[in-house]
Amino acid sequence: MKAQEILNGMTLDEKIYHLVQMTTMTYLKTDGTNIVTGPNSRMQLDKEYIYEVGTLLNLVGAQTMIDALTNFLNGSKKKVTPVFMQDVIHGHRTLYPINLGVAASFNRELAHDLAAMAAKEASLDGVSVAFAPMVDLVRDPRWGRVMESSGEDPYLNGEMAAATVKGFQGDMGKYNIAACVKHYAAYGGAEAGRDYNTVDMSERTLRQYYLPPYKAAVDAGVKMVMTAFNIVDGVPCSGNKWLVKDILRDEWGFDGVVISDYSAFEEMIDHGNCQDRKECAYLAMEATEDIEMMSPCYALYLKELINEGKITIKQVDDAVLRILKLKEELGVFENPYRSVNVEEAARVQVGPEHRALARCGAEESAVLLKNNGILPLSKDVKSVALIGPNANTGEIHGSWHCGGKIDETITVLEGFKNIIGDRVKYAKGCDILYNSTDESMIDEAVKLASECEVCVLCLGEHQEYSGEGNCRANIELPEVQYKLLEKVLEVNKNVVVALFAGRPLAISKLDELAPAILDMWMPGTEAGNACANLIFANAIPSGKITMTFPRELGQVPIYYNAYRTGRPKLEEDDFNRVRFTSSYLDMPNSPLYPFGYGLSYTDFEYSDFKLSASKMKRDETLVASVKVKNVGKYKAKEAVQFYIRDVVGSVVRPMKELKGFEKIELDIGEEKTVEFTITEDMLKFWNKDMDFVAENGKFEVFIGKDSRCKPYASFELV
């Protein structure tokens, strides 16, 4: 059956209900009870059409899908197959690191392969659409959802978005699923880092920094877009015609499915933008929103709006057709159960192959923030005191763990045992609560520390201290964790801290106290093996942060691609007091760790910086190149970064912008030349007249290991 034919056979009521998304649980019982229970109770839907909705969400398990779909089709008159959508954010059943970690790998291929793995696992459970990638640009680590973003840079976020879309969607084959980029738009701009809070910025900032990653996903062929809870220019995204119809569809040419976030249509009433659900339905349809997730505005009021001539049947047809075309592409009209396979799912999910890839992901995402030389540890170490609230727990696999199971997560203790057997000893030391004052376990840990050669402290956050609705006004390490660290240091100077967190923490004190800090983020199902492999140099750290770590929360928002201001504080004066500059009385401007920063066990030497010409015509390209040599003792990977600064513009321009990166692997002593091609497109920005153009003038170029690199050449665009 073709989409148009199915549409032609639908009544108006069936079309309207096709725009509704219900939770899968609605269809796991056939006695109708859960249609009016739980989150469904507020839906007040007409029971006659409950089996005519178009899509379902929140599903985990092949058998669950089979049961729900069978019940659905048995109950449905028209039997237009629904598709199942799921938050496959950093893995489905095998979890890999949170996305802020995967971004730190600076490895497009890795991001792609991890998404492809997640797609296969999800497709075997009957999932057809992933509500991912989340590409919201972030600048405030108080926001809980920084964990699922790729960080503060538009270009890097866009590269990771495109890689993830292609990983999920592939050639839309059996083991592929459709991707749904979110949250359109600028959800990461929530004031004070408080979830669902006001977003307010100029159109130029929106277009220059926040929109490019969504466009990168659209250009990569993403099948769906999810609109965000927040307002843009005073209007909630769910009903924002300028944002959704004018920009996303008309300007960017996106003709796929747009879905709301959970009950976000109805929340336009809470925003104070709509009087009632009827007005919500009107604004959403005018904005060309297709699917309403878990609120009833369309179901209850579209027909009335059509009868009043406010909405046309064609608008409804267009929305239904976009959904039916997606279903056609997914092949569910031929086979409603698509790729679901209970036996294959059980065999493949969390199997050795997927664990191995998740482990590589965790190893390559980790960032070595500090190392006085204590790392890596020798595998011949006599004894290791493994201490801390994150040392012996599976609850370090990340907040969007959807199908992941805690008891399948390799704990750090298990990971260490896999390498040094019973030479690792464990003590908890303190609990993970951010407000804990319980010091009763410290003495036992200190005693163990005094008896062992080296101590590894697993500190940080619980995985539910980040993620949706998990924002923090204080992003310091809890005092009790510092107390534990200080007491251990009193009896043993050989201390390594493995940090598990879903965000950049304000850890200046940790940076002072700890001889070494390895940031594991929330590493996923293979957490413990990855951590142990990195500590013992079975794997070499190569991650680099994509979101600035502030010295103190007071510096936030702090990000590398900022404007210079009219009174810049010069870098050489960073620790000096220079009044009447853009600076603080009590703190340097520089962050604790800057964008693009991360250490290795080896050293890389950058030399022979070149730029192919000093002038560039608009139809030409230039090449910036550098030689990178591994001058250390370990074969390792390095994320080489390329930045450009537009020195003068009709509006102010950032001090530098990432325009390229390449992850290379060098053997000991090996040297490679890395090249970046400069194009006119790369130089375009939203100028004073809000045209997206490149302006003539001087540009500086930078290549380096992090965003602190200095310009080594310049060219003139003529």
The nearer residue to ligand GLC, 14 or 87, going by C-beta atoms, is 87
Interface with ligand GLC in residues 4-63 (CB under 6 A)? 57
Q: Strand 235-236 and strand 231-232: pairing?
A: antiparallel
Of residues 216, 203, 213, 154, the one with CA closest to residue 687: 203
Residue 262: CB minimum distance to ligand GLC, A: 4
Angle (deg, nearest 10), helices 352-365 and 527-535: 50
Say which residue the tokens 């030409």 belong to.
Answer: 620
Binder of ligand GLC out of 155, 262, 601, 604 (CB under 6 A): 262
Residue 203: CB minimum distance to ligand GLC, A: 24
Residue 36: CB minimum distance to ligand GLC, A: 21
The nearer residue to ligand GLC, 239 or 541, going by C-beta atoms, is 239
Handedness of CA 63, 64, 69, 72 (dihedral sign): positive
CB-neighbour burial class of residue 635 (10 A; exposed 0-12, middle 13-18, buried 19+): middle
Interface with ligand GLC in residues 609-648 (CB under 6 A)? none
Residue 259: CB minimum distance to ligand GLC, A: 9
User: Letter for the amino acid at 293?
Assistant: M
Residue 400: CB minimum distance to ligand GLC, A: 8
The nearer residue to ligand GLC, 57 or 624, going by C-beta atoms, is 57
Task: Decide if 261 is catalytic.
Answer: yes
Helix (H) or strand (E) holding 115: helix 108-124
Interface with ligand GLC in residues 68-127 (CB under 6 A)? 87
Of residues 356, 357, 348, the one with CA closest to residue 109: 357
Binder of ligand GLC out of 13, 317, 468, 680 (CB under 6 A): 468
CA dist., res. 394 & res. 412, Å (int): 9
The nearer residue to ligand GLC, 184 or 500, going by C-beta atoms, is 184
Q: Is 143 in the site for ligand GLC (CB under 6 A)?
A: no
Residue pair 208/158 in contact by the 8 Å Cβ criterion: no
Residue 127: CB minimum distance to ligand GLC, A: 12
CA dist., res. 136 & res. 158, Å (int): 10
The nearer residue to ligand GLC, 96 or 416, going by C-beta atoms, is 96
User: Residues binding ligand GLC: what is the number (CB under 6 A)?
Assistant: 7
The nearer residue to ligand GLC, 182 or 705, going by C-beta atoms, is 182
The nearer residue to ligand GLC, 261 or 290, going by C-beta atoms, is 261
Q: Is 182 in the site for ligand GLC (CB under 6 A)?
A: yes
Residue 25: CB minimum distance to ligand GLC, A: 13
Residue pair 150/213 in contact by the 8 Å Cβ criterion: yes
Cis before 133 (ω within 30): yes
Half-sphere exposure of 409 (CA within 13 A, CB side): 30
User: Letter for the amino acid at 398?
Assistant: G
CA dist., res. 486 & res. 517, Å (int): 15
Cα R_g (the chain), whole angstroms: 26
DSSP symbol at 654 = B
Q: Is 195 in the site for ligand GLC (CB under 6 A)?
A: no
CB-based contacts of 23, cutoff 8 Å, min separation 6: 38, 39, 40, 56, 57, 58, 294
Residue 57: CB minimum distance to ligand GLC, A: 6
Strand partners, 22: 56
CB-based contacts of 343, cutoff 8 Å, min separation 6: none
Q: Is 131 in the site for ligand GLC (CB under 6 A)?
A: yes
Alpha helices in 588-678 (DSSP H): none
Question: Rounded to whole angstroms, what are the CA distances from 31 to 59, 79, 80, 231?
Answer: 20, 19, 21, 40
CB atoms within 10 A of CB 121: 24
The nearer residue to ligand GLC, 262 or 715, going by C-beta atoms, is 262
CB-neighbour burial class of residue 570 (10 A; exposed 0-12, middle 13-18, buried 19+): exposed
Residue 256: CB minimum distance to ligand GLC, A: 16
Binder of ligand GLC out of 52, 159, 261, 292 (CB under 6 A): 261
Q: Is 685 in the site for ligand GLC (CB under 6 A)?
A: no
Task: Map residue 324 onto helix, strand or coil.
Answer: helix
End-to-end, the C-alpha distance of the chain in Å comes to 56
Residue 85: CB minimum distance to ligand GLC, A: 8
Longest CA–CA span in the chain (Å) reads 80
**Which tokens sit at 534?**
């990195």
Residue 257: CB minimum distance to ligand GLC, A: 14
The nearer residue to ligand GLC, 439 or 468, going by C-beta atoms, is 468
Q: Strand 367-371 and strand 454-460: pairing?
A: unpaired
Give all strands of the β-sheet with 622-630 in edge-to-edge order: 604-611, 622-630, 671-678
Of residues 589, 588, 629, 637, the one with CA closest to residue 608: 629
CB-neighbour burial class of residue 41 (10 A; exposed 0-12, middle 13-18, buried 19+): exposed
Q: Which of 125, 136, 153, 261 is catalytic?
A: 261
Say which residue the tokens 């250390």 belong to.
Answer: 632
Residue 96: CB minimum distance to ligand GLC, A: 18
Counting DSSP H helices and E strands in the chain, the numbers are: 20, 26
Residues that bind ligand GLC in the complex, under the rule CB under 6 A: 57, 87, 131, 182, 261-262, 468
Active site residues: 261
